[in-house]
Each structure stands twice: as structure tokens, then as C-alpha cells.
């Protein structure tokens, strides 16, 4: 299983800025080990321009931060998996905590997006995670299992080679707080156990990423933990220098 080093640029960078950063990143990752894969989730408006400049950063795959579970239709403001692929994207995020909390996306909708995007040929990283009150109540396991159950409800095992889960404790995103090794190990163990039950004999094939204030100075420690098969990086991924340091940690 390759380590997945994923960058989520959220609502940052124009198309020109994205190409400049990706080109710089591609140069810095020219000697990326073969056991690692880098994915950058760019804004929709930068995807086509970045896709056209793809030859400048061959070590980096492109993804979109969201999609809608339909081929086409009257869904104002949305974008389909086919549109993402046509623009040069090969991956998509589903269920990021900001989509859940700010845009009120339900577990059911996120599951529909996950299954539809996989069937449409994209790789999918499904994001799950608990809020601070949920953790303090001792609800870590039921929250993660609820999100995973809905997110994977219609996912056929045939798509597992291009599917991963990202654990992102909501209380550690953009706050500077990082889950400690014990908290990461606990959460990833819950996810791995669920995947093993869901896909008997194949749960170990699914990568589990950690996301939550990942930086160059803590990436190596996080990546060295059991059941951590990559990282999903926010703020520290906006600069090629810092994200390349994480990708090579």
C-alpha cells in the first residue's frame, strides 16, 4: 500500500497561482519514493488550468474538493465526477468536516457522493471525524462507525484500490491542536476494525489518513504510527516548500 500525501487547498489560489505552486512542488518531488503518492485537491476554478499544465508536475495527481452524485442536471452550483475527470482530476474528497458542518451535508448524501464518484472512475477519500463535545462524551466509536456505515453503504469492494479514509478530528482542524499519538492510534484502530468487518479479508487494503494541523515538524511522527497510511494536509500544503517536506518526511 502506498503512502498517500494529500493536500487540501480549500478556497485558496487562482488558476495561475495553483499552477505556479504545483510546478514548484513537482520540482521538489522529482525524487519522490515509489511507495508514496501525492494528491492535491485544488479549487474547481483551478482544476482545468492545472490539468493543462500537468506535464510540469508529473509526480502530483489532481483532485477536486467536492462533487455531486449525478451525471448532469439542474443542480445549480454543483459539479459532476465527469466534469472533474474532463478537467484533469482523478480524485475527489467526500464528507470533509467543513462540508458536514458549514454546508449541512448529511451522512446519507456523503455516502451517495462516495459511491457515485467511485463508479464514475474517480478515486475517493472519505473524511470522518468527531467534534470535541463528541469525544468528551465518549462517543468517538459510535460517531466514526455511523459516518463510515453511511459513507460506505453502497461501495462495492471492486473499488477499494482507489478508496481511502481520512480521519480528521474536527477539533484539530485549523486550530493548531494536533491529536496525540494515543488519540490517533485509538481512532485509526476503530476505523480499521470497522473496515475489516465491512470488507472481510480486505479491510487492510484501505489506506487510513490522518488530517488535523499536520506540519513538517510532526508529519514524520504521525506517519510512523500503526494504521496511519498517509496524511491530509490543510494550511501547510499551501506552500510547496512545507508540503514537500511533509511528503518526503
For residue 188, the domain's CATH number is 3.20.20.70
238: its cell numbers = 499551501
Q: Burial level of 228, CB count in 10 A (0-12/13-18/19+)?
A: buried
pTM comes to 0.97
What pLDDT score does 89 carry?
98
What pLDDT score does 170 carry?
87
Q: What count of residues does the chain have?
A: 249
What pLDDT score does 179 carry?
83
What pLDDT score does 37 carry?
98
In degrees rounded to 5, what are phi and psi of residue 75? -125, 75
Q: Given its phi and psi angles, is residue 177 left (phi above 0), alpha (psi -120 to 50 degrees) or beta?
A: beta
Q: How far apart are alpha carbons 94 and 111 in whole angstroms?
A: 8
pLDDT digits (tens, 9 = 90+) for 39-68: 999 999 999 999 999 999 999 999 999 999
Range of 33's domain? 3-247
Domain count, the chain: 1
What pLDDT score does 171 carry?
81
Residues lower than pLDDT 70 in the chain = 174-175
For residue 8, how many C-alpha atoms fall within 13 Å in the half-sphere facing its CB? Answer: 27
Q: Which helix H or strand E contains 186, and what residues bound it?
A: helix 181-198
Residues classed as catalytic: 96, 168
Amino acid at each position: 500500500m502506498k503512502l498517500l500525501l494529500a493536500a487540501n487547498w480549500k478556497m485558496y489560489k487562482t488558476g495561475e497561482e495553483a499552477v505556479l505552486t504545483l510546478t514548484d512542488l513537482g520540482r521538489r518531488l522529482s525524487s519522490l519514493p515509489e511507495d508514496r503518492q501525492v494528491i492535491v485537491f485544488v479549487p474547481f476554478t483551478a482544476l482545468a488550468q492545472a490539468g493543462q499544465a500537468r506535464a510540469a508536475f508529473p509526480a502530483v495527481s489532481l483532485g477536486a474538493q467536492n462533487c455531486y452524485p449525478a451525471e448532469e442536471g439542474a443542480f445549480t452550483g454543483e459539479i459532476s465526477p465527469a466534469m472533474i475527470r474532463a478537467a484533469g482530476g482523478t480524485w475527489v474528497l467526500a464528507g470533509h468536516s467543513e462540508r458536514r458542518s458549514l454546508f449541512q451535508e448529511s451522512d446519507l448524501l456523503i455516502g451517495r457522493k462516495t459511491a457515485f464518484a467511485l463508479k464514475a472512475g474517480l478515486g475517493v477519500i472519505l473524511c470522518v471525524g468527531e467534534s470535541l463535545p463528541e469525544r468528551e462524551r465518549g462517543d468517538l466509536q459510535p460517531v466514526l462507525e455511523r459516518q463510515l456505515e453511511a459513507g460506505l453503504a453502497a461501495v462495492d469492494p471492486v473499488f477499494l484500490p482507489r478508496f481511502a479514509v481520512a480521519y480528521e478530528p474536527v477539533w484539530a482542524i485549523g486550530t493548531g491542536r494536533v491529536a496525540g499519538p494515543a488519540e490517533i492510534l485509538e481512532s485509526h484502530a476503530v476505523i480499521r476494525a470497522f473496515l475489516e468487518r465491512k470488507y472481510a479479508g480486505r479491510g487492510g487494503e484501505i489506506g487510513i489518513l490522518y488530517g488535523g494541523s499536520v506540519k513538517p515538524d510532526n508529519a514524520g511522527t504521525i506517519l510512523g504510527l500503526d494504521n496511519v497510511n498517509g496524511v491530509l494536509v490543510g494550511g501547510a500544503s499551501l506552500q510547496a516548500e512545507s508540503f514537500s517536506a511533509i511528503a518526503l518526511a
